[in-house]
Structure 1
Amino acid sequence: MTHPSLLDQARQWQVLLHSGRATAADRAAAQAWRQAAPEHEQALREVEGLWSLLGQIERPTEQPQVRVLRRRRHWAAPLACAAMLLLALWLPRGTWIGLYADISTQPGEVREVRLADGSLLTLNGDSALDWQFVDGRREVRLYRGEADFQVAHDPARPFIVRAGEARIRVTGTRFDVRLEEGGVDLAVSEGRVLASSEGCEPLPVVGGQQVQWRGGALQAPQALDGRQRLGWQRGKLVFRDRPLEQVFAELERSQSARVLFVDEAARRLQVTGVFALDDPQAVLSSVETTLPVRLVRLPGLILVTSRR
Structure 2
Amino acid sequence: MNPDITDCMDGSVAEQGVQWFLINRDGALSDVQRRAFLAWLRRSPEHVRAYLRALDLHRQVGEAMPAASSDLLEGMLMEAGARRPTAKVVPLFARNAVSNAVPARRGRRRWAALAAAACLVLVLGASLSRLWPQEQVLAAGHGELRELVLADRTEVRLNADSAIRVRMGWLDRRVELLRGEASFDVAPDRRAFEVQVGELRVRDIGTVFDVSRRLQNTRIGVVSGEVEVWRGDSDQQRLARLVAGRVVLVDNDTGAVQPLDMPASMLLDWQHRKVSFLDERLDEVAAAFNRHNRVQVVIEDDAAAAMRLSGSLDADRIVALQAFLARDPRFKVQRRGDTVHVHSR
**TM-score in terms of structure 2 length:** 0.54
* Aligned-partner Cα distance in 2 for 1:194–1:270: 28
Distance 1:223 1:294, change over 3 A: closer
Aligned to 1:206: 243
Q: How far apart are 1:195 and its partner, in Å?
A: 1.0
Q: How far apart are 1:130 and its partner, in Å?
A: 1.5
Q: How far apart are 1:134 and its partner, in Å?
A: 1.2
Aligned to 2:312: 274
How many residues align? The count is 207
Q: 224, 232, 235: which is aligned to 2:273?
A: 235
Q: How far apart are 1:272 and its partner, in Å?
A: 3.3
1:120-139: CA deviations, max 9, x gaps? 10000111112011122111
Structure 1 moving runs of 4+ over 6 Å:
none
Aligned to 1:185: 219
Aligned to 2:25: none
SS of residue in 2 equivalent to 1:278: coil
Q: What code does the residue aligned with 2:304 have?
A: A
CA contact (8 A) 1:252 1:258 kept: yes
**Residues 1-308 of structure 1: pairs in structure 2 closer than 5 A:** 102-154=137-189, 156-198=190-232, 199-201=236-238, 203-214=240-251, 215-219=253-257, 221-298=259-336, 301-306=339-344
* Aligned-partner Cα distance in 1 for 2:182–2:338: 25
SS of residue in 2 equivalent to 1:208: coil
1:179-230: CA deviations, max 9, x gaps? 1221211111100111101131363211111233211414155544324333
* Aligned-partner Cα distance in 1 for 2:175–2:165: 6
Distance 1:289 1:220, change over 3 A: closer
CA contact (8 A) 1:113 1:120 kept: yes
Any gaps of 5 or more consecutive residues in structure 1?
Answer: 1-99
Q: How far apart are 1:150 and its partner, in Å?
A: 0.6
**TM-score in terms of structure 1 length:** 0.60
Q: What code does the residue aligned with 1:281 have?
A: V
* Aligned-partner Cα distance in 2 for 1:203–1:196: 7
SS of residue in 1 equivalent to 2:211: strand
Distance 1:166 1:290, change over 3 A: same
* Aligned-partner Cα distance in 1 for 2:239–2:310: 35
CA contact (8 A) 1:119 1:152 kept: yes
